């Protein structure tokens, strides 16, 4: 029995206990999965489970008051742990169906490979490939080559917290020291290069706030200071300055909280690498406080606490 | 001079250069992996093989523009008093939108009715619209999610365009649509296109057949009011919406805006900027009351605006051009065509009504017997 | 800020009410000579300083930002500056990543009695910012 | 091209007088800086204007002085948000911007020869005031005029001088109420909808016009229905967040109707045709 069948069976079993289950169904074409809210067990037949199920469904949890079941991958489970650290959800009201994950697919990367053609059909073979058929032919791509960047250094393929585990746990085979390699490489550039890079990227921002609204840890949502007039942090002018500021607001508010699910970057319609800023801060959190987000429910986010003597923070000399 | 022109592919840059002599030419350019309308220059990479990620709406209706500047001044006769000076400057250069798609161009027609064809025309929009020539490229094939034929458009629909280009193997057949567009035929690099017209029409017809029509066999979707006004329907179909503004900002027909004062010291501007009906703040009143506090109500309004309210005002015209961007680029791929399809389906309506009676959550596409 | 004085740069200082603002006052009362580039904003506590204040200042025209609070363990509110230290250190490390020289931002601790230290901090930081020059040099010359 | 009017550009105006109506409501007498405009300016009772404080923004208020008294325009402003707070900081002589008149108005022509029942709560008397004064200035055109007006406490009643005047007039039946007993208050107590039921005005040949907080309106509408008022004879004026004021920007719509342009005055019959998004 494959994972999809096992998930369906598990959902059927937990049903009287939960009012809704959040999982995935096929989206508007073969290349897109989309979140699926099940409220009666019969709906489960439309559920899908494959590497296209990339969204972090846990984003919905803090706003749902009812008891809910949810399908999570290893990376998604870190969000749940972070929620628990911050007291944002009631663990007793969430039934977690954990699924060990060997890597998902970045639709953006696939589209690049197939030249943004409309998709006719998508199948997965047994050798870790996705086969995408378009009017112009068929393309076989190794999932590992079209996965989101986060998968290439994934340390937690198996959910860290769950009530039901589908299949066997998987251990990570990715070296831990590579997690922040991209950040170190980028940081090695000159200040001018880095400034120019961000200015070019942020210039495209249309301020749709998809990154913020899709972010599981952006819990202010309707009261976000990016939109309030009092305080008036950013204006409605369309300058680079305003866009830059918005992304700094997003990043700073996620300091020591970002679970690196990559949703902000996945959803950006303008292809801005917004997750990078947050990852940089996470790298510093690791270095300064040996803190890793969403791993241990008993941890405290580093910005919520302090040590009288900080081992790693040295006074800066002028 | 023939009624049809032809632009050989190798001369496209020369053509753009010629257009750029007396206008700013916005063309779809490749930037990283996405396509955006940018003022065209030699260093940019033109990309015409797929619709741009963003429609060209910002050329005529900028995301943010100054309505007027204000400046406080000390009154000369009494320094305790301040006077205010207002300055509105509606200077706009000549512009060309090159390589828009028929859906993008049709979007401007949706705006025209609201911004120009009213008793309080919008001078900013109107000036830009009048100063802009729209050169559209017909679609040879559909794009993911698009459905123009279902909302009164089509891959070679000419409404809103000044010129329609159709790609053939070696070049583009150029058909002027408006008087303004005819001037194009006089440009140097344009050859006689008459011999190619038949081929172009063939390409257009073929593309038309390939675009999906989610509302078929209906000509235009007719919405069931009772289902539209049923809260449970919205809770079910847009539960996954994250309430961001991607759909509206990428939409060639969305035009809602905000007006804010952005101040410096003693001076500033009144700015008009795009706003999105999907944002909580959009309708939030100073008292704290919000007539559309939930994403369900906001999404309902978005669908309503496009498929009911606008048609009610403007002779049945649907304010959706079917470009599919809101589906393709939605963070969770909410599919407006699917939602409208549910809304028009009488069979579904019966089903929704029955689940409502039972007091259970209604279901979409369930196989459960009624 | 005229022609030659184009040399004067815009430096914003966020000073806590209880220690550093007092320190600056002490320096002033003692008539210690200080550079005049600094514009002081008094805040209740260094813990009130959102790192985004600094970012906003740097993005909207400041050439340098200085934050100064009570010495660790001396916070008027017991632990405001402990939180500030973590946040500001995070920011210090983030700035170079977005292409802003971290030397444009400094945070330190000056007590109300340390007039001399205040003078030193202001002088040294101002010099440091002057070495880097104006933040938006390119844009100004373009304009 | 250049001679079409820019609908976004306000006319400059000066605050003439500020009147403190209640602890959080002030009225402003405003005149256009251009005396010619002041002379030629026309509006109808119930129409609104966008009042600007440059640097803060615009907000919509009904012009609550009647078109029969054109020495100045009066706006009454309750302090609630950013713009209203800025307006509350204005003094005589300060500069504001006005975009007016906007929207529709009370169908006073159709009300001629009929009894008029006004039901207001709190600041909701402002839009009624313009029509009340207009009708008093054309008193012969209308039959009985009854005004039921209430607020939380006596100090929260707006237009106290005029209330006194109306109370003394024999051709106006004014019924005042406050929510609870209050030292020195010897008139009615109780919520406006309750008082409406007690007074029980007859629906015959009567038009009811109501404005007030949404919750009051809701119960007043129910009360009027119980009294057998017809939907067409019940008129209310709505408030929404507005920006453009000319039916474009999209935030004040209820279905296909824009409150700023198609409203703010609607009959209950019209409201029942619209989605429930008030």
Q: What is the Cα–Cα distance from A202 to A277, expressed in whole angstroms? A: 12
Contact A236 B64 (CB under 8 A): yes
Q: Is C61 on the interface with A (CB under 8 A)?
A: no
Q: Is A302 on the interface with C (CB under 8 A)?
A: yes
Q: For A116, which residue in chain B has the nearest alpha carbon? A: B50
In a domain, B102, yes or no: yes
Which residues face D73 on adjacent strands? D30
In a domain, B216, yes or no: no
Nearest Cα residue to B221 out of B34, B37, B79, B348? B348
Q: What is the Cα–Cα distance from D249 to B284, expressed in whole angstroms? A: 14
B-contacting chains (≥3 CB pairs under 8 Å):
A, D
Tokens of A162: 């769950």
Cα D35 to chain centroid distance, Å, stands at 26
**Residue C54 contacts residue C66 (beta carbons within 8 Å):** no
pLDDT at A55: 96
- Segment among B299-303, B350-354, D73-77, D93-97 with least mean pLDDT: B350-354
Q: Is B261 on the interface with A (CB under 8 A)?
A: no
**pLDDT tens by residue, D193-251:** 999 999 999 999 999 999 999 889 999 999 999 999 999 999 999 988 899 999 999 99
Q: For A266, which residue in chain B has the nearest alpha carbon? A: B331
Q: Which secondary structure element, helix H or strand E, spans residue A151, and what is its range?
A: helix A149-152
Q: Is C21 on the interface with A (CB under 8 A)?
A: no
Q: For A264, which residue in chain B has the nearest alpha carbon? A: B331
Handedness of CA D194, D199, D205, D208 (dihedral sign): negative
Provide the pLDDT confidence category of residue A136 given band limits of 50, 70 and 90.
confident
Mutate to test the interface with D, among A228, A229, A235, A236 (most CBs of D within 10 A): A229
Chain A residues in contact with D82 by the CB 8 A cut-off are: 229-230
Q: What is the Cα–Cα distance from A226 to A215, expressed in whole angstroms? A: 15
- pTM greater than the 0.80 cutoff: yes
pLDDT at B359: 43
C11-142 is classed CATH 2.60.120:
no
B233, B140: one domain: no
pLDDT at C127: 96
B202, B234: one domain: no
Q: For A231, which residue in chain D has the nearest alpha carbon? A: D82
What stretches of chain D show up as alpha helix (H) in DSSP? 35-40, 82-88, 108-111, 125-137, 160-168, 192-199, 214-226, 268-271
pLDDT at B9: 95
Q: What is the Cα–Cα distance from D111 to D115, expressed in whole angstroms? A: 8
Contact D95 B82 (CB under 8 A): yes
Mutate to test the interface with B, among A29, A146, A237, A261 (most CBs of B within 10 A): A237
Contact C52 A249 (CB under 8 A): yes
What part of A 163-192 touches B (C-beta under 8 Å)?
Answer: none
**pLDDT tens by residue, B38-47:** 999 999 999 9
Provide the pLDDT confidence category of residue B363 given band limits of 50, 70 and 90.
very low
B176, B271: one domain: no
B178, B284: one domain: no
Question: Which domain-ending residue is among B176, B210, B244?
Answer: B210
**pLDDT tens by residue, D28-42:** 999 999 999 999 999
pLDDT at D152: 94
pLDDT at B351: 58
Q: What is the Cα–Cα distance from B151 to B318, expressed in whole angstroms? A: 6
Cα B261 to chain centroid distance, Å, stands at 26
Contact C94 A251 (CB under 8 A): yes
B339, B238: one domain: yes
Q: What is the Cα–Cα distance from D44 to D63, expressed in whole angstroms? A: 9
Contact D256 B81 (CB under 8 A): no
Residue B75's domain comprises 5-210
B194, B253: one domain: no
Task: State the CB neighbour count (10 A cutoff) for residue A124.
Answer: 14
Q: What is the Cα–Cα distance from A264 to A270, expressed in whole angstroms? A: 11
Average pLDDT, chain C: 91
In a domain, B191, yes or no: yes
How, if at all, do strands B95-100 and B82-87 pair? unpaired
Using the predicted structure, report yes or no on whether residue B261 has a pLDDT greater than 90.
yes
Provide the pLDDT confidence category of residue D4 given band limits of 50, 70 and 90.
low
Q: CA of A247 to nearest chain B CA: how many angstroms apart?
A: 15
**Residue A263 contacts residue A215 (beta carbons within 8 Å):** yes
Q: What angle do CA A93, A210, B129 make, to 5 degrees?
A: 150
Contact B333 A34 (CB under 8 A): yes
Chain A residues in contact with C100 by the CB 8 A cut-off are: 191, 195
Domain count, chain B: 2
Chain B residues in contact with D239 by the CB 8 A cut-off are: 285
Using the predicted structure, report yes or no on whether residue A318 has a pLDDT greater than 90.
no
Mean pLDDT to the nearest integer, D70-79: 96
Mutate to test the interface with A, among C86, C91, C128 (most CBs of A within 10 A): C86
Q: Is C138 on the interface with A (CB under 8 A)?
A: no
- Rounded to 10 degrees, the C-alpha dihedral C133/C135/C141/C143 comes to -160
Using the predicted structure, report yes or no on whether residue C4 has a pLDDT greater than 90.
no
Using the predicted structure, report yes or no on whether residue B369 has a pLDDT greater than 70.
no
Question: Which domain-ending residue is among B152, B183, B210?
Answer: B210
- Which of A29, A42, A270 shows the shortest C-beta gap to B367? A42
- Segment among B238-252, B309-323, B349-363, D216-230 with least mean pLDDT: B349-363
What's the per-residue H, E or C state across chain B? CCCCEEEEHHHHHHHHHHHCCCCEEEEEEEECCEEEEEECCCCCCECCCCCCCCCCHHHHCCCEEEEEEEEEEECCCCCCCEEEEEECCCCCCCEEEEEECHHHHHHHHHHHHHHCCCCCCCHHHHHHHHCEEEEEECCCCCCCCCCHHHHCCCCCCCCCCCEEEEECCCEEEEEECCHHHHHHHHCCCCEECHHHHHHHHHHHHHHHHHCCCCCCCCCCCCCCHHHHCCHHHHHHHCCCCCCCCHHHHCCCCCCCEEEEEEECCCEEEEEEEECCCCCHHHHCCCCCCCCCCCHHHHHHHHHHHHHHHHHHHCCCCCCCCCCCHHHHCCCCCCCHHHHHHHHHCHHHHHHHHHHHHHCCCCCCCCCCCC
pLDDT at B287: 84
CB pairs under 8 A between A and C: 95
Q: What is the Cα–Cα distance from A104 to A54, expressed in whole angstroms? A: 6
Q: Is A112 on the interface with B (CB under 8 A)?
A: yes
Q: What is the Cα–Cα distance from B329 to A32, expressed in whole angstroms? A: 11
Instruction: Report all structural domains of chain D as residue ranges with CATH numbers, in order of start.
Output: 11-102 (2.40.30.10), 108-237 (3.40.50.80)
- Name the one residue in this structure whose structure tokens are 């941890």: A299
Chain B residues in contact with A229 by the CB 8 A cut-off are: 260
- Which of A35, A112, A237 shows the shortest C-beta gap to B64? A237
D-contacting chains (≥3 CB pairs under 8 Å):
A, B
């Amino acid at each position: 029995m494959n994972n999809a069948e096992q998930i369906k069976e598990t959902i059927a079993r937990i049903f009287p206990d939960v009012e809704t289950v959040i999982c995935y169904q096929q989206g508007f074409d073969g290349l897109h999965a989309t979140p699926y809210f099940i409220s009666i067990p019969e709906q489960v037949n439309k559920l899908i489970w494959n590497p296209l199920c990339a969204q972090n469904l846990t984003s919905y949890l803090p706003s749902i008051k009812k008891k809910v079941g949810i399908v999570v991958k290893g990376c998604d489970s870190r969000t749940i742990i972070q929620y628990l650290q911050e007291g944002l959800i009631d663990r007793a009201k969430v039934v977690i169906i954990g699924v060990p994950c060997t890597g998902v697919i970045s639709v953006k990367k696939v589209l690049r490979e197939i030249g943004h053609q409309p998709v006719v059909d998508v199948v997965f073979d047994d050798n870790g490939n996705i086969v995408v058929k378009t009017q112009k032919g068929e393309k076989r791509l190794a999932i590992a080559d079209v996965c989101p960047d986060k998968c290439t250094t994934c340390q937690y393929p198996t959910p860290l917290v769950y009530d039901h585990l589908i299949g066997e746990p998987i251990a990570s085979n990715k070296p831990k020291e590579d997690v922040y390699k991209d950040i170190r490489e980028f940081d090695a550039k000159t200040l001018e290069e880095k400034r120019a890079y961000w200015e070019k990227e942020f210039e495209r921002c249309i301020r749709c706030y998809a990154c913020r609204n899709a972010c599981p840890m952006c819990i202010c949502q309707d009261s976000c200071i990016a939109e309030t007039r009092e305080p008036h942090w950013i204006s409605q002018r369309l300058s680079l300055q305003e866009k830059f500021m918005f992304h700094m607001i997003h990043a700073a508010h996620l300091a020591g909280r970002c679970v690196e699910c990559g949703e902000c970057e996945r959803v950006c319609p303008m292809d801005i690498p917004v997750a990078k800023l947050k990852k940089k801060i996470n790298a510093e959190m690791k270095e300064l406080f040996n803190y890793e987000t969403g791993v241990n429910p008993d941890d405290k986010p580093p910005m919520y606490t302090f040590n009288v003597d900080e081992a790693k923070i040295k006074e800066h000399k002028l | 001079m023939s009624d049809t022109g032809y632009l050989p592919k190798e001369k496209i840059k020369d053509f753009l250069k010629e257009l750029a002599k007396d206008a700013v030419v916005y063309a779809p350019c490749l930037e990283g992996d996405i396509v955006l309308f940018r003022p065209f220059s030699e260093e940019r990479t033109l990309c015409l093989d797929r619709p741009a990620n963003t429609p060209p709406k910002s050329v005529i209706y900028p995301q943010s523009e100054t309505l007027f500047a204000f400046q406080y001044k000390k009154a000369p006769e009494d320094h305790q008093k301040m006077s205010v000076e207002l300055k509105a400057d509606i200077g706009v250069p000549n512009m060309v939108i090159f390589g828009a798609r028929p859906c993008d161009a049709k979007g401007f027609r949706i705006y025209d009715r609201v911004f120009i064809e009213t008793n309080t025309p919008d001078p900013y929009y109107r000036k830009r619209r009048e100063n802009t020539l729209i050169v559209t490229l017909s679609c040879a094939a559909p794009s993911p999610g698009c459905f123009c034929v279902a909302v009164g458009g089509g891959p070679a629909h000419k409404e809103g365009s000044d010129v329609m280009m159709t790609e053939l193997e070696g070049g583009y057949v150029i058909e002027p649509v408006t008087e303004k567009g005819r001037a194009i035929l006089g440009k140097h690099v344009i050859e006689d296109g008459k011999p190619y017209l038949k081929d172009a029409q063939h390409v257009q017809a073929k593309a038309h057949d390939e675009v999906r029509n989610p509302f078929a066999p209906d000509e235009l979707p007719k919405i069931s009011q009772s289902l539209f006004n049923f809260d449970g329907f919205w809770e079910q179909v847009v539960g996954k919406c994250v309430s961001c503004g991607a759909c509206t900002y990428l939409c060639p027909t969305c035009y809602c805006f905000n007006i804010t004062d952005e101040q410096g010291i003693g001076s500033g501007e009144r700015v008009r900027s795009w706003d999105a009906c999907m944002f909580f703040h959009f309708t939030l009143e100073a008292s704290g009351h919000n007539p559309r506090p939930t994403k369900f109500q906001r999404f309902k309004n978005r669908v309503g605006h496009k498929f009911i309210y606008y048609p009610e005002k403007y002779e049945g015209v649907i304010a959706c051009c079917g470009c599919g961007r809101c589906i393709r680029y939605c963070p969770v791929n909410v599919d407006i065509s699917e939602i409208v399809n549910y809304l028009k389906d009488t069979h579904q309506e019966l089903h929704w009504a029955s689940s409502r009676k039972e007091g259970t959550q209604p279901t979409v596409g369930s196989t459960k017997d009624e | 800020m005229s022609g030659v004085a184009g040399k004067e740069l815009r430096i914003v200082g966020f000073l806590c009410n209880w220690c550093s603002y007092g320190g600056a006052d002490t320096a002033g009362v003692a008539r210690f000579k200080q550079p005049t580039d600094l514009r002081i904003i008094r805040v209740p506590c260094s813990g009130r300083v959102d790192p985004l204040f600094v970012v906003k200042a740097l993005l909207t025209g400041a050439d340098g930002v200085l934050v100064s609070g009570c010495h660790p363990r001396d916070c008027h509110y017991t632990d405001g500056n402990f939180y500030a230290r973590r946040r500001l250190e995070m920011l210090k490390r983030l700035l170079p990543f977005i292409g802003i020289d971290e030397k444009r931002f400094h945070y330190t601790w000056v007590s109300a009695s340390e007039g001399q230290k205040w003078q030193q901090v202001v002088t040294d930081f101002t010099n440091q910012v002057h070495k880097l020059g104006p933040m938006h040099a390119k844009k100004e010359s373009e304009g | 091209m250049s001679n079409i009017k820019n609908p976004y550009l306000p006319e400059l105006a000066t605050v003439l007088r500020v009147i403190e109506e209640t602890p959080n409501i002030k009225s402003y007498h405003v005149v256009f800086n251009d005396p010619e405009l002041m002379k030629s300016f026309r509006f109808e009772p119930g129409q609104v204007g966008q009042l600007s404080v440059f640097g803060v923004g615009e907000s919509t208020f009904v012009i609550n002085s009647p078109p029969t008294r054109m020495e100045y325009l009066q706006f009454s402003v309750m302090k609630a948000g950013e713009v209203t707070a800025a307006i509350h900081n204005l003094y005589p002589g300060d500069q504001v911007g006005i975009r007016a008149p906007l929207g529709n108005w009370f169908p006073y022509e159709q009300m001629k020869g009929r009894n008029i029942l006004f039901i207001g709560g709190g600041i909701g008397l402002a839009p009624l005031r313009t029509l009340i004064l207009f009708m008093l200035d054309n008193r012969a055109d209308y039959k009985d005029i009854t005004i039921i007006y209430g607020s939380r406490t006596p100090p929260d009643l707006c237009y106290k001088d005029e209330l006194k005047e109306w109370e003394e007039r024999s051709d106006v039946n004014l019924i005042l109420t406050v929510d609870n007993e209050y030292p020195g208050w010897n008139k009615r107590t109780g919520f406006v909808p309750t008082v409406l039921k007690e007074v029980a005005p007859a629906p015959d040949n009567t038009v009811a016009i109501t404005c007030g907080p949404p919750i009051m309106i809701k119960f007043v509408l129910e009360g009027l229905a119980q009294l057998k008022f017809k939907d067409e004879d019940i008129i209310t004026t709505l408030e929404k967040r507005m920006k453009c004021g000319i039916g474009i920007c999209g935030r004040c719509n209820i279905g296909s109707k824009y409150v700023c342009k198609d409203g703010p005055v609607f009959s209950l019959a019209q409201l029942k045709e619209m989605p429930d998004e008030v």
